[in-house]
Structure 1
Amino acid sequence: MAEEEAKLRANPGADTDGNPFDNVVGLFWFFQSTRPYMQARFDYITAILNVRTGEAVEIALDHSLDLLRLCRGDNLGVRSHVPALYLRLGRDQDAYDFIKWYADRGDSNYNWRDMSLPYLDMHGEDTFEAVNENPHHANLSFLIALTLIKIRLMKDLQSLQALLQSNPNATGEARYDHLQEEAMSDVLLKRPDVVAQDNYEETIAELRRQVLQLYRLVKGKNPHFWPGIANPALFAYSVPTIYTPGSREEAVLVFRHSWYSWSETEPAIQFIRGVISSDA
């Protein structure tokens, strides 16, 4: 990657009219001279994610977001693995905001070449809101990440509900102490309106309904994916290849993007496996 960057800076090519890091930010892939660098940086992200540490995930996320900054059109498909990286870092709110931006604003009317337009500028969106079944961009990776966000949120509320059952007079401070220790997601730490409720059962039930809705959406888009969560050996040794939507090959690629975020959230795996079993 460093070698390709040095080449690009030394010989940027006539098509970029000088240093592309100054002149064509947001449009990199439109210029032939930038593509070897973009590909090398993408390969670096793929390689470093073979390292199972939080630091490696942080590095991969930083590079992914910077590739999107350099090329909004995302010809390499970097956006597909970003929500899972946020989730592995416990940044569920950021994952949701990222997905929501593409769902609401990333349609064919968005001018990907106009750098004056806001980009990935949605923050603090409502993670409890209803599922949009017809978003502009609902690639399989996004729907799977959204399913995990909702499950983790549901499980965190169930944990809070158990706290209230054992200690009905739990103060706000006690609830936040519990979340700091036990929560899988950062969402509730930013939602005092939800945490202050006297009972979470209705919200838990609604989240469960949304999870089942997302389960069906994912299954409809690709029936091969959920069996891989039930039995990861199905895809663990498969190499991603060219795919068509709904194919096993697509499931292999998305599994590669998604699996660690699930395997690092054992309660979510157990929940979805139960759903799969009851659906069999």
Structure 2
Amino acid sequence: MPLIMNVEDINDLDGLAPRACEVCHRKDKIFRCSACQAVYYCGRDCQVEDRECHKIPCKLLKKALDRYKLEEQKLREWPGDLDSPANAFEQDVGHFWRNMATRPYMVARLDLAHIMLNSYGTPGGPVDLVQIILDHYFDMLRLSRSDDLGVREIIPGLYVRLGRDQDAYDFMTWFAAVNEDPDHEWGNVDKPFLDTKDANVFEEPLKRAWTVTSFLDLSHAVVVLLIKVRVLLDLYAIQNTFIALTGVIPPEIIAIICGKLVRSDVMFRHQILLSTPEKMASLTKRIKSQVRELYKAVGKYNPYFWNLMVNDPDACVLRTPQYNGYAQRSEQEALVILAFTFAAWYETPGAIKMLRDLAKMR
């Protein structure tokens, strides 16, 4: 199981790994492990070499995958009774959890995704697997909008890991708005669902959801902050490039170079690359202020979180957080949310350094 403590230089972590052999990292002519369907090998030699490391997560994943498939088959064949009608995949989409017969299937699917995430979805994991994990969680949310298993806390961090910052922000903005409506009918499939598009990432953080510390949506606040940090890092890169190259090469060439430097898809959507230096400086100042505000809100709400993120991120793997029954503002809550978010932070070069700098400022 990959751990941060085993990474010689965390700056070497730069996003997710491409599809490749688990041992030699060859990218062509590879095959997927038929048992766990999570990792790839180029041939038997590499598979044998990795056996000692792979056998335990492989068994766990295969067991979870078999259970998930069995529960899906049982649910599809369920004849129905007075409390749990049949044909849930046709009749109950959107409010799955109300049908008691769906719950073993949903729990099995949740467990499978969690095991994938903890086994090979840690920082620097394979991009294919992270996409599969996201697909599982997102489809569970489609089936059960009420989200009784809390997958909405996990999805934004996975979006960011896949470079889909705008999708993550739209997702969290939609939930922040709907949570303001006490009469929202979560099981009403005729209502719009996750239909927020191109929300303004540069706007001030939404107070009730992400900065008011009486009840903070901790997971979403942490990911909103990361998106702002990623934007800020891109702004710094653009500004430094303009300073270094202005007067040396034409402005349009500088803009192309800057486009190669930025990581966040947000930057392209909002045409920041075409801004004047004055507008860029003003935007940078505004985002820096928002970053500080969000950082303070998270630290005030849960005093354990930032220390764990910066100094002991492996705790969320090694100490097995309790996903059910933790208290708000507790260390257990910090561990759970850390498990959902730390990979996205560590896969963003410069993000953890910015957290350390914020801690010094505080």
TM range (shorter): over 0.9
- In the TM superposition, residue 163 of structure 1 has moved relative to its aligned partner by 1.5
Q: Give the residue type in structure 2 aligned to 1:34.
A: T
User: What's the TM-score, normalizing by structure 1?
Assistant: 0.94
- In the TM superposition, residue 11 of structure 1 has moved relative to its aligned partner by 1.2
Find the counterpart in structure 1 of residue 319 from structure 2.
238
Distance 2:343 2:92 in 1: 34
Find the counterpart in structure 2 of residue 48 from structure 1.
116
Distance 1:91 1:251 in 2: 24
Question: 1:95-139, CA deviations, whole angstroms, 9 ceiling, x for partnerless residues?
Answer: 100010011123322111211000000011110001112139951
User: What's the TM-score, normalizing by structure 2?
Assistant: 0.73
Q: Give the residue type in structure 2 aligned to 1:2.
A: K
Native 8 Å contact 1:12 1:20 kept in 2: no
Distance 1:57 1:143 in 2: 21
1:256 aligns with 2:339: yes
Question: 1:198-250, CA deviations, whole angstroms, 9 ceiling, x for partnerless residues?
Answer: 11111111101000000111012111000012202572421112310000010
Find the counterpart in structure 2 of residue 64 from structure 1.
137
Native 8 Å contact 1:176 1:189 kept in 2: no
- In the TM superposition, residue 168 of structure 1 has moved relative to its aligned partner by 2.7
Question: 1:21-73, CA deviations, whole angstroms, 9 ceiling, x for partnerless residues?
Answer: 00000111111100000000101110111212111110011111100000000
Distance 1:172 1:28, change over 3 A: farther
Find the counterpart in structure 2 of residue 37 from structure 1.
105
Distance 1:173 1:125 in 2: 29
**Counterpart pick for 1:148 among 199, 216, 226:** 226
**Counterpart pick for 1:165 among 236, 239, 243:** 243
Distance 1:43 1:234, change over 3 A: closer
What is the RMSD of the two structures over their aligned residues, measured on CA atoms? Answer: 1.7
Q: How many residues align?
A: 277
The residue correspondences of 1:96-245 to structure 2 (distance < 5 A) are 96-106=169-179, 107-135=181-209, 138-168=216-246, 170-172=250-252, 174-179=254-259, 181-192=260-271, 194-199=272-277, 200-233=280-313, 235-236=315-316, 237-241=318-322, 242-245=325-328
Q: Which has the higher contact order (CA 8 A, sep 6+)?
A: 2
The SS at the match of 1:223 is coil
Distance 1:177 1:19, change over 3 A: farther
Native 8 Å contact 1:16 1:24 kept in 2: no
Distance 1:13 1:225, change over 3 A: same
Native 8 Å contact 2:242 2:254 kept in 1: no
Find the counterpart in structure 2 of residue 26 from structure 1.
94
Task: Find the structure with the greater CA-based Rg.
Answer: 2
The SS at the match of 1:135 is helix
Native 8 Å contact 2:97 2:148 kept in 1: yes
Native 8 Å contact 1:80 1:141 kept in 2: yes
Native 8 Å contact 2:229 2:291 kept in 1: yes
Distance 1:47 1:172 in 2: 47
- In the TM superposition, residue 172 of structure 1 has moved relative to its aligned partner by 4.6
Distance 1:149 1:257, change over 3 A: same
**Which runs of no fewer than 5 residues in structure 1 stay unpaired?**
none
1:8 aligns with 2:87: no
**Which runs of no fewer than 5 residues in structure 2 stay unpaired?**
1-67
The SS at the match of 2:187 is coil
Q: Give the percent of matched residue pairs that are identical in Structure 1 and Structure 2.
A: 34
Distance 1:133 1:12 in 2: 48
Native 8 Å contact 1:103 1:138 kept in 2: no
